[in-house]
Amino acid sequence: MNRREAISFFGAAPLAWPFATRAQQPSMPVVGFLNAGSAGMASSLVDAFRKGLAETGYIEGKNVTIEYRWANGQYDQMPALVADLVNRQVAVLVVGTLTAGFTAKAATKTIPIVFASGTDPVDAGLVESLNHPGANLTGIASITQQILPKRLQYLRELIPGAAIVAMLVNPDARATAPSSAAALAAAQTLGVQIHFLSTKSDDELQHAFAMLSQLRADALLVTPDPFFEVRRDQLIALAARHAVPAIYFDRPFAVAGGLMSYGPDRPDISRQMGLYTGRILKGEKPANLPVQLPTKFELVINLKTAKALGLTVPTTILTTADEVIE
């Protein structure tokens, strides 16, 4: 090597070192976040998920990347969205419904999956058991059999003479069958007739509300489903137009003008999903993380809507409610 070549070599070397160092640094893990609803409706859930991640030391944009996908209430969109995230080889796949859980389970046997389910995932066949879910899945599960009877009970307390209740269900959702069975059992115990109105399109939703008068329904129960979640304002407006008392599954419905809501604290569920995601990123196996059950449930009553419907809210509900909107 002559003098000129030596100067060129050693002079260039320091410039190359930073690039070599950067190339050796591990890239940030990518989390795939699939929500069956819409970005606008789920902002509080995303914030809660980030909070759970942060509690394990992961900050979006700093040491973890999140890829978001939204199905906008359409179950037929989920397989393609799941496939997209699986093809990206995300480190963890986070899904928000039982149906999406099955879709993700069918798509990958290796990528860890954190799910939220509105019904028992063991009975549904998604996991082996709550304590030992097995395979590559774990998550949070709301047990329908425990929640639906309470919703019907609150309707009966608010409307003591209610004899016929209509229940909106999405026939495409895997949770519909267990939810319907739980509702039937609860209705028999309370001495109430229940009619199921299958709805998975806007036209069917309009028809379902038109059927309420024919059924002589005294009240309406809206089941948890992304199809109904993304149509929150439409459902509230239809309930007001048809003057039907309705109970919903999530606090934002009552805040937006719905009569009443009862269900698990969904932001807290999303935070727990973030915690599990962070623990998996740190090396824990989903098969060893027990499926968690919600610990916080919220009853919210909107007194303005109750007054518009000519209903007097009993003291039992007012004292039990977590939030009363006046």
For residue 303, give the CATH number of its domain: 3.40.50.2300
Judge if 307 and 193 occupy the same domain. Answer: yes
- Per-residue pLDDT, averaged over 247-263, amounts to 97
The pLDDT value given to residue 10: 39
- Per-residue pLDDT, averaged over 89-112, amounts to 96
Please check whether residue 254 lies inside any domain of the structure.
yes
The pLDDT value given to residue 41: 87
Which residue type sits at 135? A
- Per-residue pLDDT, averaged over 93-115, amounts to 96
Please check whether residue 8 lies inside any domain of the structure.
no
Judge if 130 and 176 occupy the same domain. Answer: no
Please check whether residue 36 lies inside any domain of the structure.
yes
Is residue 132 a contact partner of residue 96, using CB atoms and an 8 Å limit?
Answer: no
Position 146 confidence tier, pLDDT thresholds 50, 70, 90: confident
Please check whether residue 3 lies inside any domain of the structure.
no
Judge if 274 and 172 occupy the same domain. Answer: no
Judge if 290 and 192 occupy the same domain. Answer: no
The pLDDT value given to residue 26: 56
Q: Kindly report, residue by residue over 183-202, the tens digit of the pLDDT.
A: 999 999 999 999 999 999 99
Please check whether residue 160 lies inside any domain of the structure.
yes
Residue 215, classified by CB atoms within 10 Å of its CB into exposed (0-12), middle (13-18) or buried (19+), is middle
Please check whether residue 20 lies inside any domain of the structure.
no
- Please tell me whether the overall predicted TM-score, pTM, comes out greater than 0.85 for this model: yes
Mean pLDDT in the chain?
91
Judge if 241 and 319 occupy the same domain. Answer: yes
Judge if 137 and 271 occupy the same domain. Answer: yes
Judge if 99 and 224 occupy the same domain. Answer: no
Judge if 56 and 199 occupy the same domain. Answer: no
Judge if 86 and 129 occupy the same domain. Answer: yes
- Per-residue pLDDT, averaged over 162-168, amounts to 96
The pLDDT value given to residue 17: 42
The pLDDT value given to residue 108: 97
Please check whether residue 115 lies inside any domain of the structure.
yes
Count structural domains, the chain: 2
Please check whether residue 22 lies inside any domain of the structure.
no
Strands 137-141 and 164-169: unpaired
Judge if 56 and 93 occupy the same domain. Answer: yes
Planar angle of CA 304, 309, 315, nearest 5 degrees: 65
Cα gap 247→312, rounded to integer Å: 15
Tell me which residue range forms the domain holding 316: 144-264+298-325
| CB-CB neighbours of 244 under 10 Å | 18
Query: CA 112, 117, 119, 122: dihedral to nearest 10 degrees?
Result: 0
Angle, in degrees to the nearest 10, between helices 266-281 and 43-55: 40
Judge if 137 and 227 occupy the same domain. Answer: no
pLDDT at 153 over 60: yes
Residues 6+ apart with CB under 8 A from 5: none
Q: Kindly report, residue by residue over 295-318, the tens digit of the pLDDT.
A: 899 999 999 999 999 999 999 999
